[in-house]
A and B are shown apart, each in its own frame.
Chain A
């Protein structure tokens, strides 16, 4: 299969998933207990006139599939309507919050690579020795630490006790020095779990790779150990890390929801939790949909990149 054909097939496979995702998010309005109008009005008693307006706006008297189609059409045009609680435009709120979560997520991802890859290499090369065992336990601890707890502990030590960082985000631009300094703790908190995951994966796949015949050949022909490990083994082992990129993204998103709460970081995660608190269903719908679509698209991208890097994948 050529790369083009594979890309087309893989993209087409994502379409039913996107349809299903949008259908599930759409159905929230009708699944939440209570009359759909109350749900859409944010459970605030509204006068009959306003109720009729809402009924009209959302076409609640139409058959359900028509309501869905109307909703999807709006969503495709990035029109999410207004929040019944704050009266603000939902799309604008999300556009304001999304970059902050992205910044945090990218920083945490880079950190997890910077920790996970060297740690995985060291563990695999010292297989069975104390350094390996230590890395293994460290990685397990990283997976087992509740991220909100880690965040709270870091916040207490460096924010409250030592006073090195503020406990709430500074009122500054995202790229300002102040903001970058504040982002250090959330980044560590968010990156720990995925760093641990990368370490475990890379260690396992590298230990397996190191026993293959080509490694013996490379050593036999007198290549330096450095070249063997970094150029041959690492490159082959990293594919195992690339395949779980989707899983990692999900871990980062899940982590962001919680970590943003700990550090009062005004991102998507905090938005979702606040929306659930205030029973702001249109806002819940829109933010959950944005997150899910982002995950589907990111997974698609990962698969395409992977297929470009490793042609064998296309024939699986």
Chain B
């Protein structure tokens, strides 16, 4: 491998566009073969730091050096803060009203009718205009983030809780248990994501928790497949054989070797899936199968976008859509960055960015 760089630089044979591969440090002997010179400098000075802690530090360092990923993370953080502080959050239990969050960034109550003229375009009083019922679009877009973001986070978290254990059991136990679980996954995978979600909503009815349920039922499949595949490949790895030979228990092997190695692709997949889930929830809302029609959810707000567009009211469609687009794009940037930062198993000669996207699509390929 050492003769590779000179070859790449030799006049006529110069391979354009692979300069970044020179940043590869082959002699790096840590568990993470790809760390930048500066990082090693630091880790040498912090010599006694435990292996797993420096590993996460490495990941963070690599993530931090990725500007687009940081931009994505910033957008996600801003949208989350806006969604939380858009409107006071109150919980009513047993007759008591508990205010969890008293701030209101939104100028108007997102649900209040006729705070301005109907179908008015953007103005100083209403930066995003008003909708057919005279509700302030700006307040609705701000507050609407609550639905989309919470549905995305909840559905992915719950899907992980279902998919990861089932996939791990299938991969580790094997036999008929594996067969049974994976056949169910195969069958559910035959239905396109949104079509299955629509069918589930048709069965369960509409509403927040039913939408979440539909997205969990369709969402856990990919994690189950992913973690099963990872466990199958890790189980055959030499270091697991070595650990077994040293007398490590099954539980220790799973906890110390299998899970940490299988977790990276799951994190990437889960991050990217937040985007998919938010889009799917919005699509359900757009089709009129999501939340109740007057709720300020981005997709639901777009549901009457078509008729108002045809009347020339562009602002009703543009702003919720932009919010949705910004959030999903940001999540994808973060996912891409995580993919690069977590990728420890680059084959030789591969530059870091060459891998962008390929891991996630490996995952998707395994999905089908």
Contacts and interface: CB of A to CB of B under 8 A. Distances in A.
A156 B316 CA distance: 12
Interface residues of B, number: 68
Given A254-B195, A257-B195, A204 B321 contact: no
A273 interface: yes
B191 A258 contact: no
A301 B310 CA distance: 42
B333 A140 contact: yes
A149 B191 contact: no
Best-buried of B13, B15, B199, B365 by chain A (most CB within 10 Å): B199
Interface stretch (A53-61, A67-75, A120-128): A120-128
A66 interface: no
B61 to A, nearest CB: 20
Interface in A196-225: 197, 200-201, 203-205, 207-208, 210-211, 216, 219-220
B192 interface: yes
B191 A291 contact: yes
Best-buried of B202, B205, B328 by chain A (most CB within 10 Å): B202
Contacts of B279: 146
A136 B302 contact: no
B257 interface: no
A146 to B, nearest CB: 5
Contacts of A127: 16-18, 20, 351, 353-354
Nearest to B330: A144
A247 interface: yes
Interface stretch (B88-96, B127-135, B182-190): B182-190
Interface in A231-261: 240, 243-244, 246-247, 250-251, 253-254, 257-258, 261
B328 A17 contact: no
B87 to A, nearest CB: 23
Best-buried of A126, A140, A281 by chain B (most CB within 10 Å): A140
Best-buried of A18, A250, A284, A299 by chain B (most CB within 10 Å): A250
A246 B17 contact: no
Contact of B202 (A21, A143, A156, A284): A284
Contact of A288 (B191, B305, B364): B191
Contact of B205 (A33, A126, A153, A243): A33
A258 B202 contact: no
B336 A31 contact: no
Given A148-B283, A203-B357, A253 B192 contact: yes
A261 B195 contact: no
Given A143-B332, A203-B357, A149 B350 contact: no
Contact of A149 (B324, B354, B365): B324
Given A254-B193, A261-B286, A296-B190, A208 B358 contact: yes
B329 A155 contact: no
B17 A204 contact: no
Contacts of A17: 183, 186-187, 190
Contact of B332 (A140, A148, A292, A293): A140
A113 interface: no
A145 interface: yes
B368 interface: yes
| Chain B, interface SS category | helix
Contacts of B331: 144
Contacts of B202: 28, 32, 276, 279, 281, 284
B364 A126 contact: no
B15 A210 contact: yes
A152 B305 contact: yes
B1 to A, nearest CB: 12
Contact of A254 (B13, B19, B192, B275): B192
Nearest to A137: B68
Interface string B297-339: 0010010011001101010011001001100110111001000
B177 interface: no
Nearest to A272: B198
B241 interface: no
Interface string A282-300: 0010001001110110010
Nearest to B286: A148
A33 B201 CA distance: 12
Contacts of A210: 15, 18
Nearest to B313: A156
B174 interface: no
B304 to A, nearest CB: 11
A298 to B, nearest CB: 10
Given A128-B19, A146-B324, A204-B358, A160 B192 contact: no
Contact of B310 (A143, A167, A201, A293): A167
Contacts of A50: none
A106 B188 CA distance: 24
Nearest to B283: A258
Nearest to A125: B17
Best-buried of B287, B289, B367 by chain A (most CB within 10 Å): B287
Contacts of A243: 365, 368
Nearest to B331: A144
A49 interface: no
Given A20-B184, A159-B310, A247-B365, 14 more contacts: A125-B17, A141-B325, A145-B325, A148-B283, A211-B15, A211-B349, A247-B367, A251-B192, A253-B195, A254-B283, A262-B306, A276-B199, A276-B202, A293-B190
Interface of B: 7, 13, 15-21, 68, 183-184, 186-188, 190-195, 198-199, 201-203, 205, 275, 279, 282-283, 286-289, 299, 302, 305-306, 309-310, 312, 314, 317-318, 321, 324-325, 328-329, 331-333, 336, 349-351, 353-358, 361, 364-365, 367-368
15 contacts: A31-B203, A125-B16, A143-B328, A152-B306, A152-B321, A153-B318, A203-B357, A219-B13, A250-B193, A254-B195, A257-B194, A257-B195, A258-B286, A276-B289, A296-B190
Interface of A: 16-18, 20-21, 24, 28, 31-33, 125-129, 132, 136-137, 140-141, 143-149, 152-153, 155-156, 159-160, 167, 197, 200-201, 203-205, 207-208, 210-211, 216, 219-220, 240, 243-244, 246-247, 250-251, 253-254, 257-258, 261-262, 272-273, 276-277, 279, 281, 284, 288, 291-293, 295-296, 299
